[in-house]
Structure 1
């Protein structure tokens, strides 16, 4: 930390900006100047003399260019900001300074936001800021915004520049005054959740305002307002990302909630003539859930001042907390309630679609005639597809594991696990390979190619989009048959009845007698839904497919969804991080995206089709 803002200190900062470098320097009194890279704007916050306001100071920390200082440092700040503004205006033709402050002596009638702008007119930049702030909702109500003259910023002991200098050098000086509803006025402590929410929303409003200013007034033409965010990510972010990944890597959730005695339980269930609820056994827990939770909540996510990354980390922590709770509650009724929070339930519309599929597609009568592919042959085909991915990206370190304690097919940590007794119809082998390898393994390694590890361990709720993509890939390669659709629909119906209190036996008999599934298929569906104590995850396959078809119908592209294990509403976040150069282009593409013969199917998807049109 420096003792004073000297001319030498100012010259070093200006020199760094001239060279295109980042500036990150401490100021006297605990202040900070942070400029991610040369940018034609600067946010400013000055702590009131003798009364530091750290809560309001937090609002500028979400920006890529800001200064936090003290009011009494105004003369030195004038020289520092003037030097920065002169250098940036020389590079970009104009410069915007936005000072943020808390409203003094706020009353019930004080607006939530007060914009201080040029008195003689309301330029589009101020109109943009006013509009964006008005869209912020607190308690369901739009914010109150008032626009007044910025004269108080230009006169008096705290002014930085007179109006004449601003006009001469093409500087725009704005102020944003916040009603401090985010602070308890009696104790002076901040309301952390409200502060965080406001900070995220105000940061977006400011970026859009700066984007308008730059587009109109400067030579700097950003491609998107999100590109004005930080490109540099500090070491604490990568450390937190690594800590969350370390906790996620300590347990394999799906394997831990999948029975290891499936074959024996099925034999006993059959022997009882389907009258005795089966007993399932599971792998021993490799971790202490309570200890992992302690580590999880010791991760200082609150120190991440980038709103986007902080949101990603909080979201992931919440998911890991729920997973650990489920593992601790495995084989108890509480397991299902956490599953409903984590994977969702079945709403009326989804149930209606599922029941419609089961009504529209007759029960299969050809099951005995279906040729099954031997497990070793299927494993060899999967290894070939993995080799295809390795040719695109050397970082792919995957493989196929055949094991007798696996039911069917499971991808875990980027590897395909195949049960020795897996019954795989030959005509569906390639479809299942695109499902497991071309989607699950591909997105795992696309995510792993990114600097942010959350993209390969999976964002919360990623399963819905993942399974939607995986099922769609089956259709694209011609392997999504009617029986597969019936199974996906039956999973939804079984999850619905599970959450309504239906027993294992009742769910099994419903599938067998009402929907005419063969015994082994009915068992497999029921086991998957009731495992662990009630796992609602299997409803995501059909739900994800429906949402994905709607997404593609709206003209959106499929490829951005393959960047990692994300959920659909994460796309704006991913796109922002791409604009900010935090994320990289994806190295892997599935085979079907490279096959010109499949292009007509993509055209159909753009035109808009339903799950019933896939058959």
Structure 2
């Protein structure tokens, strides 16, 4: 930290900016100068004399160029602000300064936002900031915006740059006064959730304002307002990302809630004439959930000052907390309640779709024996698909494991696990390979190619989009048959009845007698839904497919969804991080996006089709 801002310090800063370098320096009394890269704007905050206001100062940390200082330091701050503004105005043709401040303690009658702008100059920029602030909605709080003159910013003792100098250099000076609703007026205590929400929304409003100014007034034309965010990421972000991943890597959730005695339980259930619920056994628990939770909440996520990354980490912590609770409650009634929070339930609309599918395809007709592909042959086919992906991304370190302790197919930690007794119809083999390898393994390694590990570990709720993509890939390669659609619909119906208190035997009998599934299929659906104590995850396959088809019908692209294990509403977050160069383009594409013969099907999706069209 420096004791005072000297001419020599100002020269060093402007020299660095002229060379295109980042500037990150401590200022006197705990102040901070941070410029991620040369940009034609600067945000500024001065702590009121004798009353440090760290809550309002924190608003600036979402931006790529800012100064936090003190009112008492105004005299020595002037040459620094002027040096930065003139240097950047010379580089970009114009420059913008926005000073943030909190309204005084007695805030009765004060609008939520007061914009201090030039009375005649640049009305479009003032209109933009007014419109963007007005669009901020907070529960129970009236959003009011008032536009006043910026004269107070240009008068002593606060003036940092005389009006004449601003005009000569093409510099716009704006002020934004916030009503400090995020603070208890009597005690000064902060409301952290309100502060966090307001901070993120004000950040977007100001970035859009700066983007508008830059597009018209400067030579710098970013592709999107989110590209104005910080590109360099603090070391604390990578450390927290690693810590969350380390906790996530300590357990394989799906394997831990899947029975290891499926065949024996099925034999026992048949022997009891389907009257007595089966007894499931599970793998021994390799973790102490309470200890892991302690570690989880010791991770200092509050130190992440980037709102986007902070949201991403808090969201992940919430999901890991729920998963650890479920593992603690495995094989008890409480397991189901956490599952409903984590994976959701079945709403009326989804139930209607599922029942519609089961009505449209009453039951399979078997005119001939199904051709089952031998497990070794299926493994060889899966290995060939992995080799195809590895050609695009040599770091793809995956393989296929044949195991006797799982049923069917499971991808875990980027590897495909195949049950020794897996019965895979030959006509479904390619579809299942695109489901497991071309979607689950592909997104795992696309996520792993990113600096942010959350993209391969999986964002909270990623399963819905993942399974929607995986089922859609089956249709694209021509392997989504009617039997498969019936099973996806049956899972939804079984989850619905599970959440209404239905027992294993009742769910099994309903699938067999009412929906005409054979005994073994009804068993598999019921086992998956009732495992662990009641797992509602199996409703996400059909729900994910319905939501994905709707998303594509709106004109959105399929490819960005494959960058990692994300959920649909994370797309704007991922896009922002790509604009900011925090994330990289994805290295691997699935076969169905590269095959010209499948282009008509992709066009069909854009035109808009429903689940029933897939039949």
Q: Distance in 2 between matches of 1:512 and 1:536?
A: 20
Q: For 1:106 and 1:99, how far apart are their aligned partners in 2?
A: 21
Structure-to-structure mapping, 1:327-338, within 5 angstroms = 327-338=327-338
Work out whether 1:123 is the aligned partner of 2:127. no
Q: Secondary structure at 1:138's aligned position in 2?
A: coil
Give the equivalent residue in structure 2 for 1:317.
Answer: 317
C-alpha RMSD of matched pairs (Å): 0.9
Q: 1:234: Cα distance to partner?
A: 1.2
Equivalent position SS for 1:101: strand
Aligned to 2:261: 261
Matching of residues 432-447 of structure 1 within 5 Å: 432-447=432-447
Residue 431 of structure 1 corresponds to: 431
Counterpart in 2 of 1:63? 63
Following superposition, the deviation at residue 376 of structure 1 comes to 1.2
Task: Note the alpha carbon deviations across 1:538-572, whole angstroms, 9 max, x for none.
Answer: 00000000111111111111100000000000000
How far apart are 1:120 and its partner, in Å?
2.8
Q: Does 1:23 align with 2:23?
A: yes
**CA distance, structure 1, for counterparts of residue 515 and residue 246 of structure 2:** 44
Q: What's 2:565 paired with? A: 565
Deviation at 1:121, TM superposition (A): 5.0
**Correspondence for 1:246:** 246
Distance 1:181 1:509 in 2: 57
Residue 134 of structure 1 contacts residue 142 of structure 1 at CA under 8 Å; is this kept in 2? no
Secondary structure in structure 2 of the residue aligned to 1:357: helix
Aligned residue number for residue 493 of structure 2: 493
Tell me, what secondary structure is at the counterpart of 1:232? coil
Which residue in the other structure is 1:281 paired with?
A: 281
* Deviation (angstroms), 1:63: 0.7
Could you say what secondary structure the match of 1:336 adopts?
Answer: helix
Matched, 1:326 2:326: yes
Partner of 2:183: 183
Taking the TM superposition and a 5 Å limit, the aligned residue runs for 1:389-538 are 389-538=389-538
Partner of 1:588: 588
How far apart in 1 are the matches of 2:133 and 2:488?
A: 44
Equivalents in 2 of 1:22, 1:284: separation in Å?
A: 51
SS of the aligned residue for 1:110 comes to coil
Distance, in Å, in 1 between the alignment partners of 2:604 and 2:217 is 44
Distance in 2, Cα, partners of 1:127 & 1:133: 10
How do 1:69-84 and structure 2 match up within 5 A? 69-84=69-84
Gaps of 5+ in 2: none
Q: Is the 2:105–2:185 Cα contact (8 Å) retained in structure 1?
A: no
Q: Are the equivalent residues in 2 in contact too, given 1:462–1:567 (CA < 8 A)?
A: yes
Q: Distance in 2 between matches of 1:573 and 1:608?
A: 25
SS state at 2:115 partner: strand
Structure 1 unmatched ranges of 5 or more: none
Q: How far apart are the structure 1 equivalents of 2:53 and 2:339?
A: 42
Q: Is the 8 A contact 2:385 2:437 kept in 1?
A: yes
Offset at 1:139? 1.3
Q: Determine if contact 1:550/1:608 at 8 Å carries over to the other structure.
A: yes
CA-to-partner distance for each residue in 1:471-494, whole Å, 9 max, x for gaps? 000000000000000000000000
- Listed one character per residue, the Cα deviations across residues 353-398 of structure 1 (whole Å, up to 9, x for unaligned) are 0000000002112186111111111111111111111111011000
Offset, 1:122? 6.0
- Return the TM-score normalized by structure 1: 0.99
1:321 Cα deviation from its structure 2 partner: 0.5
1:221 paired to 2:231: no
Q: SS at the partner of 1:2?
A: coil
2:321 is aligned with 1:304: no
1:101 aligns with 2:69: no
Moved over 2 A (4+): 105-108
SS in 2 for 1:61: helix
Correspondences of 1:322-401 after superposition (within 5 Å): 322-366=322-366, 369-401=369-401
List per-residue Cα deviations over 1:84-126 (Å, max 9, x = no partner): 0011001101110000001014333111110000123561111
SS at match of 1:479: coil
Count of residues in correspondence between the two structures: 615
Please give the per-residue CA displacement for 1:514-536, whole angstroms capped at 9, x wherever unaligned.
00000000000000000000000
Deviation at 1:267, TM superposition (A): 0.3
SS at match of 2:62: coil
Q: Distance in 2 between matches of 1:81 and 1:549?
A: 51
The farther-off stretch of 232-241 and 158-167 is 158-167
Which residue is 2:4 aligned to?
A: 4
In terms of mean alpha carbon deviation, does 133-142 or 471-480 score higher?
133-142
The answer to whether the 8 A contact 1:96-1:173 is kept is yes
